[in-house]
Amino acid sequence: MFLYRLLYFFREAFQGIKNNRFTHMVAIGTITLALLTFGIFIITVINLNQIFDDWGKRIQVIVYMDEDTSSEGIKKVKEKIINLTQTENIIYVSKERALITLKKSLHNQNGILDNLDDNPLPASFEIQLKEEYKNLQSVQAFVARVKGIDEVSDAEYGQEWLEKFSAFISMVKLVGVSIGCFLLLATIIIISNTIKLTIYSRREEIEIMKLVGATNFFIQTPFFLEGFIQGLSASLLSLGILFVSYKILISKIIIDYSLYLGYLDLIFLPQKLIIELILLGILLGLFGCAFSMGRFLKA
């Protein structure tokens, strides 16, 4: 009995899709477009995040030593910094090494350094921080601790750049979430209106079903199945289009323009998000269906 009913619901759902091909195609098209927009947005956000993460990895702290620090003192400072939990890697740059590096960076104009009686550059440490500490607050806390060491004269971390970068990331995240919410809301409104149209076009069928004594459960179930099938097909379709477009983008644009753009490793949606996007599509189909059915079943 249960199996027979289930079979009936599926048969009705497929019959409904077959008989209302055009309206179903419009509904699937609408959900596909909405999910596509949403998917493009998510991919953009993911890739931007990736790029920012990359930039974030370049954060390093430079600690300058007092002029008269002995080699014993330098060792002590190095020990202290290594023992700090934030430290990943530390490189010592002696006064001489610093001067050589400066000369190299000046290329042809390094003659201006020839008249120096004394090496004015201080010895320093270049410190890489662990991943989890590469953010503004942690870097500031680390620098404050390092500055507290006696032999250290100064420490810098590209303050201005890091502050601007952090503010930018916060703004991008805020804008991203706002656009995401707006897109989702617009998607739901468009989908429920489209499905309302498909159900409106079948109000006669619903009226007749009610007339012959069908319960609301019997009337609704095939429509919900249709909503489910619509949502599933639309999400698979949009994922397919997204994937093909992504592949084309990778093979054409990135390779052709890598000279100008540098090496860009664009990523597709991770598996978890793919599943979530499919579930979102199904939910949108079901939600739009439930939302639109309500008024037709009231009487």
Partner 1 sequence: MIQIFNLYKVYPDNHPALTDINLHIKKGDFVFATGPSGAGKTTLIKLIFCAERATRGQIIVNGINLAKIKKSGISYLRRNIGVVFQDFKLLNNRTAYENIVFALEVTGARRKEIKRKAWQVLKLVGLQNRLDATPLGLSGGEQQRIAIARAIVNNPTILLADEPTGNLDSEITQDIMELFKNINERGTTVVIATHNKNLAHQYSDKHILLEKGRVINPA
Cβ of residue 217: shortest distance to partner 1, in angstroms? 9
Q: Give the closest residue to 285 by CA, choosing from 17, 54, 46.
A: 17
Q: Which is nearer to partner 1, 149 or 219 (CB)?
A: 219
Scan for tokens 């249709």, then name that residue: 226
Residue 122 has phi, psi (to 5 degrees) of -85, 160
Distance of CA 86 to the CA centre of its chain: 26
Which residues make Cβ contacts (< 8 Å) with residue 147, sequence separation at least 6?
Answer: 154, 155
Binding flag, residue 13, partner 1 (CB under 8 A) = no
Q: How many chain residues touch partner 1 (CB under 8 A)? A: 20
Identify residues 51-70 at the interface with partner 1 (CB under 8 A).
none
- Both tokens of residue 241? 């289009």
Pick one of 5, 58, 252, 295: the residue that binds partner 1 (CB under 8 A): 5
Pick one of 68, 72, 118, 204: the residue that binds partner 1 (CB under 8 A): 204
SS (H, E, C) 118-175: CCCCCCEEEEEECHHHCCHHHHHHHHHHHHCCCCEEEEECCHHHHHHHHHHHHHHHHH
Cβ of residue 21: shortest distance to partner 1, in angstroms? 11
Mark residues 208-227: x for contact with partner 1 by CB under 8 A, - for none: xxxxxxxxx-xx--------
Cβ of residue 208: shortest distance to partner 1, in angstroms? 6
Binding flag, residue 19, partner 1 (CB under 8 A) = yes
Q: Which stretch binds partner 1 (CB under 8 A): 112-120, 207-215, 224-232, 270-278?
A: 207-215
In eight-state DSSP terms, residue 252 is I
Cβ of residue 285: shortest distance to partner 1, in angstroms? 22
Binding flag, residue 1, partner 1 (CB under 8 A) = yes
Residue 258 has phi, psi (to 5 degrees) of -60, -25
Cβ burial, residue 33 (10 Å; 0-12/13-18/19+)? middle
Binding flag, residue 4, partner 1 (CB under 8 A) = yes
Binding flag, residue 178, partner 1 (CB under 8 A) = no
Residue 63: other Cβ atoms inside 10 A: 28
Binding flag, residue 8, partner 1 (CB under 8 A) = yes
Cβ of residue 225: shortest distance to partner 1, in angstroms? 15
Residues that bind partner 1 (CB under 8 A): 1, 4-5, 8, 19, 204-205, 207-216, 218-219, 299
